[in-house]
Each structure stands twice: as C-alpha cells, then as structure tokens.
Amino acid sequence: MRTSLLAGMTTRGVSFLAAGVVCALIGYVLGERGLLCIGIGLIALPLLAVFTARRGHYRLATSRSITPPRVPIGHTATVTLRLENISRVPTGLLLAEDAVPYALGSRPRYVLDKIERHGVRQLSYPLRSDLRGKFQIGPLQLRVADSFGLVELTRSATGRTTFVVTPRVVRLSRSVISRTWAGEGEGRARLTSTAGEDDVIPREYRDGDELRRVHWRSTARYGELMVRREEQRWRNRATIFLDTRSWSHAGSGPASSFEAAVSAAASVGVHIAREGLTAQFVTDGEALRSGPFFSDALLDALSVIRQSGRRNLDIALAELRTASGVIVAIAGRLTVREARQLAACRTEGSQGLALLLDVPSWADEPRPVAAGDAPPAGGAPAAAAKADGTGLGDGRAAAPRPAETAPAEAILRSAGWHVSVLDAGTPLPVAWQRLSQPPSVFVRRPAADPAQPVAVGGAADGAGGAAPQ
C-alpha cells in the first residue's frame, strides 16, 4: 500500500514545501539562479525529513501495568509504562501520549529525546476517578518527529488495559447479622449438636452446593439433581437485593440516591463475604450467584451497573421467594403492593434486613408543595405561621411532612423485618447499625401528638393511597 508523500508532514513542513515550489518556479521563470537554489533547498528539506523518519523503523517493546487494577471511587492508582528499544540503532525524538478516557482526566504526554540501543525508559502517571466504571487505558501513541518539526509520524505501541473503579465501600458493624445466621459462636455448636443426621427432605441443587450432599434416591425419583438439606448450611446463606429501577430513585450523578444504593450494596456484599456467608446478589433484572470470589465478582458487577427502565420487581421477587437465611433489601421508592410482596419473601426462621432510601432527600431540587397536599401535621395552615418561619401561629414548631418511606416501613416491620431509613445526610454505617434494633409492631407517624403511635395496618393502608401503584 503506497503512502502519500505529504503523510506525516506538519503544517510547518507543508509550508516549507509550498514556499520552495513557489520560489523555484519564480526563479526559473525570471532566470534568478539564487532564488531557484533557495526554492530547491526549501523543497529538499521536508522531503529529506520524511525520508529519514520513515526509514527509522525503531522497534520498541512496550508494556503497561496499573497498580492496583481495581480501586474504589476517589482513590488513586498508578500507571507504569515501560519502553525498551530493541533495534540496533538509537531512536530520535519521540513524543509519547497514552490514551485516557475523558472521565479520568487529561492525556499524559512525554517527550523522549533519545533511547539508546537496548535502552529502557519507564514513565508513570496517576489515575483517579470520581465515577465508577470499567475504563480502557490505551493504546500508547508514539510520534516520531524530526529536529525541525517538519514531520510527525504516529504509531500505536501497545494495546489496551482495563481499569476498574468500584463503588465506595465502608466497614459495617458485625452486630447486625446474628451469629446464629452466620453459623458462628454458640449458635453454630448448638445447631451442629442438635441436627444429628442430616434432614432427608431434599431440595433442588443450587450453585455452590457440595456434591457430597447429593441425595441420589431423590435424584432418581424426581429426575433432577437433588441435595440433602443441611440446617447449618441453610443458615449460612445470604441474599442481597438492590432496586435499580430508575423511577424509584432521584438525583443525578454521584450525588444521586442510586449511587448511594450501589455503594450500600457493595459495602453489604463485602461485609457478608468477610463474615463467611454464602451470598448471592439479586436486582430487578438479573442475579449473581455465589462463587469462590463473590466479593470481587460483586464489585466488578456494581462498577458497571446502570439504572433499569423496569416498572416492577417480578424477577427479583421470584428469586427472593426461594431465598433462605439472611435477606438484605436495599430499595428506593416502594408502592404498598411491592412492600407487601417483599415482606412476604421472608419465611419463618429467616432474617430480613431492609435499608429504605429516603429518595426525596437526594432530589436535585426540593419538591414543591402542591395545592392539593395536606397542611402541616400540626393542624395550622402555612399562612398562619409567623413571619420568622420558626413555628405555627401559636408558637409551636411546625411538624415535618410524613416520610415517603412510612408505608413500606410499616408493612415490613409488621412482617418481622428489621428496617432502617437511609437519607442523604445519614452515613451508611449509622443506618446499618440501626438494623440491630428489634422490629417494632408500631410505627410513629408525624402528628399533632407525637406520643400517639399508629398501628402498622393503619399506617400502611392510610398512607398507601399517596403511593403509586
């Protein structure tokens, strides 16, 4: 394949060549020998630079490493580039530029004056991202330039390297998940001693079950692989559910409720893996089964997860109905119907933990009060408030509006779930610690008399009319 003569020439090189042609023609027409020689020189200089740059086939062995290859949001990794001249001649002037996605900052550029024969150069630069995701770093572009800046030839030196930015992970308290569910402490010894022979009631085989637990008689009877139930194994299971529906979240960018939910799911997943539980991760669209490196697989999946356009939780609820052990639900907006369906997924003998996001606290703009909205719970209209805005007309402080999560919280608590509400101003470890409190049968609703508790059924049914079905 032929290469154009002007390929690789800079603007300066093309200007020299054009000026040389003009001078040579004028000198020839006018018979000016000196002007003709100047024109020939201006033409020859860029052509000689092109010939020299193309004949200089430098062979460079390049490699790239990222340490560490996976970092949480806000942390810094170091990229190291290694260039080795394996040709028999030294290189000329080299301009190195590594391709970096826009989200990670500007592209690093280096000027290498000369790399001797078998010489090695190492270049490094930092990478930091405030957005999670999987990014492709590279390829490394090498531009061969002459000393006059007349020619620049670009060559791709290396391939691409994957750089993973995971959600932010925080350490959570170990007191929330009971030792009985984790299969440790006195609960573990008690389960082992009282179990005796394994329960002969079989169930279908699941990923992660040991083959020695296969119940061959039931396998032959049902025509599919069946395993014996083991109480301790059942209690060592955990399921994490993350609501990724776009309509159930608010806000945009890193300061959205969805990003807070993703960070919570990552923290809970890493925490459960450290506790030694066999875990699986479920969303409204897919499921990630447990494996030998569950925490790594979970972080990789959460680094690229996006909001979905689904309007229901049918897929997730089908998975949760078969779940056992510990169920950790991280949800945004829930309708009364969805809250009841989720509450029914916790079977007798399992532990249910729910982190409900107070989605309006992440909204980009505060939600305006509509004309049909109820007045403040104190009973006085907004017009009766004093000019200072600190209270109502009679001097009492204005009560806050009923929380959006109150109906779902009431339903889940009535079904025996441990519930904690996470808003934009509450750290995740604080909200997680609240889950260690026992589930309450009554839920308080902001009212004129805060001392009056509201029964769970009334809170769920009475506030359910405002929630979308």
Q: Is residue 373 part of a domain?
A: no
Any residues with CB less than 8 A from the CB of 299 and at least 6 apart, and which? 70, 164, 166, 167, 169, 266, 269, 270
Q: Are residues 160 and 49 in the same domain?
A: no
With beta carbons less than 8 A apart as the criterion, state whether 157 and 140 touch: yes
pLDDT at 139 over 80: yes
Of 354, 364, 181, 131, residue with least CA distance to 264: 354
Query: Do 83 and 199 have their domain in common?
Result: no
The set of residues, in sequence order, having a beta carbon less than 8 Å from that of 114 and lying 6+ positions away, is 90, 91, 92, 93
CA–CA dist 244, 304 (Å, integer):
12
At 21-38, the pLDDT tens digits run 999 999 999 988 899 999
Given a cut of 90, whether residue 154 has pLDDT beyond it is no
The total domain count for the chain is 4
What CATH number is associated with residue 410?
3.40.50
The answer to whether residue 350 sits within a structural domain is yes
Judge contact between 427 and 299, C-beta under 8 A.
no
Task: Look at residue 128 and tell me if it is in a domain.
Answer: yes
| Count helices and strands in the chain by DSSP H and E runs | 13, 20
* Domain identity same for 31 and 153: no
Q: Are residues 242 and 226 in the same domain?
A: no
pLDDT given for residue 4 in this prediction = 65
Residues 6+ away with beta carbon under 8 Å from 454: 410, 442, 443, 444, 445, 447, 462
395 falls within a domain: no
Provide the residue range defining the domain that includes 202.
184-230
Question: Do 209 and 331 belong together in one domain?
Answer: no
Tell me the per-residue pLDDT of 65-110, one tens digit each, with 9 for 90 and over. 999 999 999 999 999 999 999 888 888 778 899 999 988 988 999 9
Please check whether residues 122 and 242 belong to one and the same domain. no
Asked if the structure places residue 386 within a domain, the reply is no
Distance CA 437, CA 342 (A): 20
420 plus 339 within the same structural domain: yes
Q: Does the residue 379 lie in any domain?
A: no
Identify whether the C-beta of residue 96 lies closer than 8 Å to the C-beta of residue 83: yes
For residues 323 and 430, membership in a common domain is answered with yes
* 190 vs 406 pLDDT, higher one: 406
Highest mean pLDDT among 51-55, 107-111, 440-444: 107-111
Which helix (H) or strand (E) segment holds residue 124: the answer is strand 120-128
Residue 105 sits in a domain whose CATH number is: 2.60.40.10
Tokens of 354: 């729910």
Exposure of 140 by Cβ count < 10 A (0-12 exposed, 13-18 middle, 19+ buried)? buried
pLDDT at 226 (0 to 100): 85
Res. 51 pLDDT band, cuts 50 70 90? confident
Residues 259, 219 share a domain: no
pLDDT of residue 215: 86
- Give the 3-state secondary structure of residue 201: strand
* Residue 208: predicted pLDDT: 63
End-of-domain residue from the set 134, 166, 198: 166
pLDDT at residue 194 greater than cutoff 80: no
* Residue 175 in domain: yes
Q: Is 372 part of a structural domain of the chain?
A: no
* Residue 70 shares a structural domain with residue 204: no
The reply to whether 319 and 200 lie within a common domain is no
Measured CA to CA, the distance from residue 256 to residue 404 in angstroms comes to 17
Considering the domain architecture, whether residues 133 and 49 belong to the same structural domain is answered as: no
Residue with tokens 């086939």: 57
- Residue 104 gets the label, from left (phi > 0), alpha (psi -120 to 50) or beta, of alpha
